[in-house]
Structure formats: C-alpha cells, structure tokens
Structure 1
Amino acid sequence: MSVSRKTVLIILSFFATYVIWGSTYMLNKIAVTELPPFFLASMRFLTASVLIFLIAKFSGISLKISLRQLKNATIAGFLFLTFGNGVVVWALKYVDSGFTALEISAQPLVVLILMRILQGKKIALMSYIGVVLGFTGIFLLVSQKELISQEGQVLGMITIFACMISWAYASIFVGTADLPKNHFVNTGYQMFTGGIILTVVSLGLGESWSLPTQWSVEVQWSMLGLIVFGSIVAFTAFNYLLKTVSPEQVATSTYVNPIIALILGWWVLDEYISLQSIIAAVILLTGVYFINTRRKFKPRPYGR
C-alpha cells in the first residue's frame, strides 16, 4: 500500500469514527420518535450482525467459536447492547440527543472508578484531576433547571447513567474474557446475541412491530445509517485505526463524538443548547482528556 493511499484511509477512518459515531445519537432520536425503542435496537443489531457474518463468510473468515466464547459474547452483548444501548434508545424518547452524548462522554470516568473498586487499580494524580473535572461537568450538565423541569428528563438521565455503568463493567469484562480473536467476528456475535435478547425484551413488553415499508422515509434512512454506517463501517474504521495509529489518537473520538452530536442535534433536530451545557461540555471533556492521557484508555464502540 502506498503512503498516499494509507493516508487517505486514515483520514476516512477518522471521519467515520468522528462523524458517523457522533451522528448515531441523532439517528436513534429520529427513529425512536416513530419506532418502539427495543424493537428499533433489536432490528439494528440483528440486521448488522447478519451482514457482518455474510461479509466474514465471503471474506474467508471463520465464524467458528467455542461454547465458552459464545457465552462470553452473550454476556458482553447484553451489557453493551441489550442494556447499554437499548435502554439509551429508550431514554432518547425523553432526553435530547446532544445531551445524551455529553452525558455518555463521561464513560471513561466510570470505567476508571470501577477499575479502582473491582480491581484495586491505583489512580494517578492527573486522573484524580480528571475525576474532579468530570464530576463537576456532570453536575453542571444535569442540574439545569430548564432540563429537570421537563417530563421524563430526570428518569432519562438516571437510566443513561445506569447504561454507562453497564458499558464500563463490560469494557473491563471483555479485557480478560475469552472471546473470538477476530474483532469483526467478535462484534458480530455480540450484536447477534444482544439483538436476540433485545427481541425477547421487545416482545415481552408488547411493543408493536412493523415492516420497513411501513416506516417513514426519515426513519428508513436513519435505520440504514445506524445499521450500515454506525454498526459496520465505523466499527471497521475503528479497528483499522487501532492497528495503524496510536490508541491515544483513536481515543480522540471520545471528545469529538459529543461535539458532533450536539451540533447535529441543534442543526437537524432544533435541540436547544444552553450556555451551561457548553461550559459543562468543556469541563467534562477536559476531565476525560486527563483520564485518557494517563490511562491510555482504549474506547469501545459497542454502545454507539
């Protein structure tokens, strides 16, 4: 591969992890206005997993895994996708997409705290500063009176935080769990098992199911973007970057995604951005920067 072609691929991959992942909040927000949340999430991940399996099969990649790997993939799929993503989609019925992305950007903070509690991992001085800044940013974000007074906002914020804990624990779990070596196959099984559980939850809650032909054009395009670009293209780009550039450079998506989500939510969905939200975003993302640079945190794509 020539240097120029490699440079183009790196630029395109960063564009995918920055913009596509940043846009998934808006796409989910559009889709959940019309579709039940757990049905929406299940269709996204089941369809994406089938496409991943087909791509892997035609590429000559083995889909064979052990029973233990399947069990671990199911656990990860539940933590990352069934609870971690499905409940966030539900919360988007009440919370703005940009606000959701900002709150979720504190995930490295939750990971750090859980690693301290569960593994006894020492926290460096710079990370302590990041923790203080992170909590300050979250407090400023969730304490806005104009948000708290809106129906369902508080419940939405609490459930999103619960999802962050699920993602954080899953990030620690997959670090030591026996999972398929191929990242593409690993994600395929996590999406498939997570999608199956989401289907069970959706049917158990009595959500109404519908065919894509019954959806509005906006929802059809949103689901296409979530499945093809959000679940497959961006993840492939993510793995390519991990093999090509440093983890610290890849981790910059943690700071860029919420900014993209805020801009798209304001521009496309007419979501309101207060001055306090902007200040909270700056403080929160600065805290995440301190945590990431000290811990060399590797971002996980599953919750997006």
Structure 2
Amino acid sequence: MNKQKLLIILAFFSIYFVWGSTYLFNKIAVSELPPLFLAAIRFSMAGILILVIAKLLKKSIKITRQQFLNSTIAGFLFLVYGNGVFVWALKYVDTGFAALLASTQPLFVLFLLRLIDGKKMQKKSIIGVGLGLLGMYLLVSQKTIATSEGMVLGIFMMLSCVLSWSYGSVFVSKADLPKNFLVSTGYQMFISSVLLIFCSLAFKEDISTIKTISYKVQMAVVFLILFGSIVAFTAFNYLLKVVSPEKVSTSAYVNPVVALFLGWYFLDEKLTNQSIIATFVLLTGVYFITSRKRIAKQKVRPSQKT
C-alpha cells in the first residue's frame, strides 16, 4: 500500500468515525460544562492551533477587512449558532437523534439553493427530499418524544441550527474568504470563540464549573479540540482534493450510524424500531440528494459536525 492510499484510508476514518463520535463527546462534556462556554474553549484553542500550523507552513495569515467581516458572519452561522446552540440542545436530545437531524443538512441546502438561486431540482433530489421529510416525520412523531421534557424544544432548536449551518454553506460558497482553508478556518474558529464568550456571559452561564470538571470531561474536551476540530477537518479538506466530492459526502450518512451506536453502547440511549426505520428512510433520502450530479459543481460545506 502506497503512502497516498494509506492517507486516504486514515482521512476517511477521521471523517466517518471521529466526526461521528463528536456527538458522544459533546454529550459527555455538557454534562458538567455550560454548552456555550464549552464551544468557546474548543474553538479558541482549535483556532489558535490552526493559525499556528498555517504560520509554520509559511502561509500568510493576513486578511482584508471584507474577509474578516465574512469570516465573522460564517463563524456565527457555523459555530456560534449552528454549533453552540446545537451542543446546548444535546442536554435534551439523544446523540443518535442529534446526528440524524444534522444529516438533513443537504436537504436544507437544496431548499435554500432553490429559494435563493432558483436552481431546479433533479429527479434524484426530489426523491431525496420526499424521503428526507418522511424520515424526519417518523423520527420526531414518536410518542416518547412528545412526553419527554425539553426534547421537543431541543429538536426544534437543532433544526434551526441545521438551517443556520446550511445557509452558512451557501454564504461561504459565494463570499470573499482567505483562499487557504487553514487560515479561513482558523479565523472563523477564533472569531467565533470570542462571540461565544460574550454569549456565555450574556446568558449568565456558570463558567466556574471548569474548576471542578472530572477527568472524563477533560479528556472529552481535549478530543473535541484535537481530533474533532483539527484532525477531522484537515482530513476532510485533504479528501476534497484527492477523491470525488460524492465520496466525501458519504460522511453525511455514516456519522449518524456511528453516533447512534456509540450513544446506545456508552450512554444507554434507547433505539426504538421506529427510530431504526426512520434512520433507514432518512439516510436513503440523504443518499439520493448527495449523489446527484450537480454536487460535484457546488462548493458546499459538509454536514454539521458537533
């Protein structure tokens, strides 16, 4: 096996299993840390490390005023609202459910492209949308959800986060941002961390809890910073250069399966028959959407990763 093949295998492992496991580690972390403060810690450390890596690779980290403004907007859509609020909602929603809701991002992007650019849907896209909507209905219509305190609110907020992430995907495809992905990502993460600190203070989160967090939560935060934010994202961008976008997009329907299994195994989350059917229907819909021909011509960010 040559070096490139090995790198491709490791990169796919990262976007499949590392990103899929971030739901579990975020769930563990928010059990002791305020969600917005957690996101601020994660993205400040990751953003600084990424910019340092870019500097070591002799990449210019200078950006224009417009690029800074666009990075702020993108960071808010992706990381402040799209991720910060999503992690907050994990207090009420199981990790498997959360991952499945996040996997609907291609569906939201399709709707936004239709609404904003007036792009017509292909037959595969229409089938995918139909299956996606059916899968979401089967997922959220279960009686156990209606009777669970806070779960309906959590699901609603997560869907709004997916919408925010999807609009961010469309925005980034047209915005003036730093050409180097490390520089662009580093600025988005660092700017978002500053905004998240202000949000955390505004909502009066108890940040003093960081003094008493357990070793398990400490390790979860380290994993999210090093592997969830840096390794997996770098792997994603590497794969976009060496394999087709269609193959990279398969993470959209592998991540939920990983999250479902990990949530069931480590957190004793229940997996009903209706949830299993909903998973199959929803992910089939995502497959039809992401396998359409037009995807190779669009610059769209990956499904939401927590």
TM-score bracket, shorter-length normalisation: over 0.9
User: For 1:150, which of 148, 151, 158 is the aligned residue?
Assistant: 148
Q: Secondary structure in 2 aligned to 1:123?
A: coil
Task: State the aligned residue count.
Answer: 302
Supply the distance in 2 between the matched residues of 1:126 and 1:53 (Cα, whole angstroms): 40
Task: Pick the aligned partner of 1:226 from 212, 218, 224.
Answer: 224
1:161 aligns with 2:159: yes
Give distance in 1, aligned partners of 2:305 and 2:83. 5
> Any unmatched runs of 5+ in structure 2?
none
How far did 1:233 drift? 0.4
| 1:300 lines up with 2:302 in the alignment | yes
Q: Is contact 1:81-1:302 (8 Å) kept?
A: no
2-structure distance, mates of 1:213, 1:14: 36
1:107 corresponds in structure 2 to 105
Equivalent residue number for residue 239 of structure 1: 237
What are the equivalent positions in structure 2 for 1:1-304 lying under 5 Å apart?
Answer: 4-210=2-208, 214-294=212-292, 295-296=294-295, 298-300=300-302, 303-304=305-306
RMSD: 1.3
Q: Give the drift of 1:119.
A: 1.2
What is the Cα deviation at residue 211 of structure 1?
7.4
3-state secondary structure, aligned to 1:84:
helix
Deviations 1:258-283 (A, max 9, x none): 00000111111111111111100110
Give, in whole Å, the separation in 1 of the partners of 2:202 and 2:168: 24
Residues 82, 197 of structure 1: 8 Å contact kept: yes
Kindly provide the amino acid, as one letter, of the partner of residue 182 in structure 2.
F
Q: Is the 8 A contact 2:249 2:302 kept in 1?
A: no
Structure 1 residue runs of 4 or more that deviate by more than 6 Å after TM superposition: none
**Alpha-carbon distance in structure 1 between the residues aligned to 2:44 and 2:304:** 14
- Rounded to whole Å, the distance in 1 between the matches of 2:304 and 2:145 is 28
AA aligned opposite 2:257: I
User: What is the TM-score with the length of structure 2 in the denominator?
Assistant: 0.96
Normalised by the length of structure 1, the TM-score is: 0.97
CA deviations over 1:84-105 (Å, ceiling 9, x no partner): 0010111001000111001111
Bigger mean CA offset, 288-297 vs 134-143:
288-297
Task: Mark the runs of 5 or more structure 1 residues left unpaired by the alignment.
Answer: none
TM-fit CA distance, 1:57: 1.6
State the identity %.
Answer: 56
